[in-house]
């Protein structure tokens, strides 16, 4: 059997396979013999049908079967001989078998690109610093005070003012069109809360219980829902309840009420430690993203379309599953940049795989055991239980996680990393992403 490969593109090749007639004939003879043993034709006992009758009656079926076998064997031979990493079903137009002639066919295969080497020299990234300012700690304390506040109806009926908590129901019109899906009933809002849409909190100051008011506001250009970005909305609001928010004193007694803290300073220290932990995880995630971007920029490769489509399908499945869990609707904004994100992830996977081979990074049993011991120390589970839980696909996933850690550690060690203060735009974008 002989095969030749010619490149159509970095991710597509044409394979020509030639199967000698002697091999084809042997396969035809053995297949006809097998069919003859089980053939059932009127006028003949099972297995006693003459050979020429078998060939006449079952010839098309046998030839099609043999041709399929030749194509399968030929493609397997070509893939193994030329070390092709196929990512999709081949495209084949099988010719008919010709008596006495070699069987030749051509197939088109989509393959992974061959990455001779992964360049790491000159990788440079900039990430935001992870310092926790005192203002961030005080903001968390303020939120804790809100969560532990007492609510009280005013002694005498009065209009709403900043700091009050209102219970409202509303309907929404956007540029004159009613939006039933955006309406809400008995929603609690705190006047002065920064998370409220700009204009809503101010618009409700001065409203009394039982009163209705139309509040006009403009959705920001950065709103996650593309359909309403920058558009003007009118909320028809009715206030059904008003309560004063009585914040607890910020002292040691408050610290003891919200947790196992003896003093307010101990509570502040705990908040700072948690924020620092969040900052460290945010920095790690940002660093990984930027290292991948830098790696892709340094090593431009062509990506197989099939892998991108597979990644898109996986992303859509995860998106819909998450939306269902959160009880939210999928919007056109969710699909923005989906193709680019899928292509980026595929490129990252191909480059990281090539990097692992280039640097000889392998994950053996010793590394898995060390990771399980680390997980046991963190979770409190016995290592034997974790070992029993991580078998089959779950063990494979753990190996992939360990491999990823090692590869990112390698990239971090090779890259020039600069820390910079975050800009207001970056902070706003992160806050918007967290809220969404």
Can you read off the two tokens belonging to residue 132?
A: 């926790």
C-alpha–C-alpha distance, residues 111 and 89, integer Å: 10
Can you read off the two tokens belonging to residue 45?
A: 């006992």
The reported pLDDT for the residue numbered 428 is: 46
- CATH assignment of 280-435? 1.10.3120.10
C-alpha–C-alpha distance, residues 99 and 381, integer Å: 68
15: helix, strand or coil: strand
Can you read off the two tokens belonging to residue 388?
A: 């029993």
Residues 6+ apart with CB under 8 A from 330: 319, 320, 323
The reported pLDDT for the residue numbered 426 is: 53
- Of the CATH numbers 2.160.10.10, 3.40.1010.10, 3.10.50.40, 3.40.190.10, which one belongs to the domain with range 150-246? 3.10.50.40
Cβ(16)–Cβ(104) below 8 Å: yes
Strands 124-128 and 416-420: parallel
- Print pLDDT tens along the chain (436 aa): 899 999 999 999 999 999 999 999 999 989 988 888 877 777 676 666 677 777 888 888 888 999 999 999 999 999 999 999 999 999 998 888 888 999 999 999 999 999 999 999 999 999 988 889 999 999 999 999 989 999 999 999 999 998 899 999 999 999 888 988 889 999 998 887 766 666 788 889 999 999 999 999 888 887 777 778 888 889 999 999 999 999 999 999 999 999 889 999 999 999 999 999 999 999 999 999 999 999 999 999 999 999 999 999 999 999 889 888 887 777 777 788 899 999 999 999 999 999 999 999 999 999 999 999 999 999 999 999 999 999 999 999 999 999 999 999 999 999 999 988 765 445 544 544 443 3
pTM for the model: 0.72
The burial of 225, by beta-carbon neighbours within 10 Å (0-12 exposed, 13-18 middle, 19 or more buried), is given as middle
- CATH assignment of 2-110? 3.30.70.1050
The reported pLDDT for the residue numbered 47 is: 66
C-alpha–C-alpha distance, residues 368 and 398, integer Å: 8
Where in the chain are the domains? 2-110, 150-246, 280-435
Residues 6+ apart with CB under 8 A from 27: 66, 69, 70
Strands 232-246 and 165-174: antiparallel
Q: Which of 9, 4, 29, 17 is nearest to 70 (CA)?
A: 17
């Amino acid at each position: 059997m002989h095969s030749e490969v010619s490149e159509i593109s970095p991710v597509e090749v044409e394979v020509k396979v030639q199967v000698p007639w002697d091999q084809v004939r042997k396969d035809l003879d053995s297949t006809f013999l097998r069919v003859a043993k089980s053939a059932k034709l009127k006028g003949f006992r099972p297995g006693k049908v003459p050979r020429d009758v078998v060939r006449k009656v079952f010839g098309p079926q046998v030839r099609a079967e043999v041709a399929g076998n030749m194509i399968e064997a030929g493609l397997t031979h070509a893939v193994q001989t030329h070390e092709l990493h196929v990512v999709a079903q081949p495209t084949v137009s099988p010719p008919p078998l010709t008596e006495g002639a070699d069987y030749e066919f051509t197939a088109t295969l989509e393959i992974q690109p061959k990455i001779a080497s992964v360049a790491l020299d000159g990788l440079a990234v900039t990430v935001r610093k992870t310092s926790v300012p005192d203002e961030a700690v005080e903001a968390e304390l303020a939120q804790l005070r809100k969560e532990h506040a007492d609510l009280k109806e005013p002694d005498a009926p009065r209009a709403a003012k900043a700091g009050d908590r209102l219970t409202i129901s509303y309907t929404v019109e956007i540029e004159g069109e009613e939006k039933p899906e955006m309406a809400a009933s008995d929603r609690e809002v705190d006047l002065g809360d920064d998370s409220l849409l700009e204009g809503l909190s101010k618009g409700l100051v001065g409203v009394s219980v039982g009163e209705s008011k139309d509040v006009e506001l403009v959705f920001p250009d950065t709103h996650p829902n593309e359909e309403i970005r920058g558009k003007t909305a009118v909320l028809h609001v009715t206030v059904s309840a008003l309560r004063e928010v009585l914040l607890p004193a910020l002292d040691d007694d408050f610290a003891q009420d919200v947790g196992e803290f003896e003093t307010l300073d101990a509570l502040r220290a705990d908040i700072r430690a948690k924020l620092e932990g969040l900052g460290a995880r945010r920095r790690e995630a940002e660093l990984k993203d930027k290292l991948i971007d830098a790696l892709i920029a340094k090593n431009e490769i062509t990506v197989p379309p099939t892998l991108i489509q597979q990644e898109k399908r996986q992303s859509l499945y995860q998106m819909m599953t998450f939306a269902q869990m959160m009880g939210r609707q999928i919007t056109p904004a969710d699909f923005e940049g989906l193709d680019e994100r899928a292509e980026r992830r595929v490129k990252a996977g191909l480059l990281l795989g090539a990097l692992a081979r280039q640097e000889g990074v392998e994950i053996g049993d010793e590394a898995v055991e060390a990771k399980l011991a680390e997980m046991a120390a963190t979770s409190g589970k016995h290592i034997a239980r974790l070992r029993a839980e991580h078998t089959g696909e779950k063990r494979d996933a753990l190996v992939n996680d360990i491999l990823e850690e090692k590869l990112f550690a390698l990239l971090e060690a090779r890259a020039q990393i600069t820390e910079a203060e975050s800009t207001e735009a970056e902070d706003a974008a992160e806050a918007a992403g967290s809220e969404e």
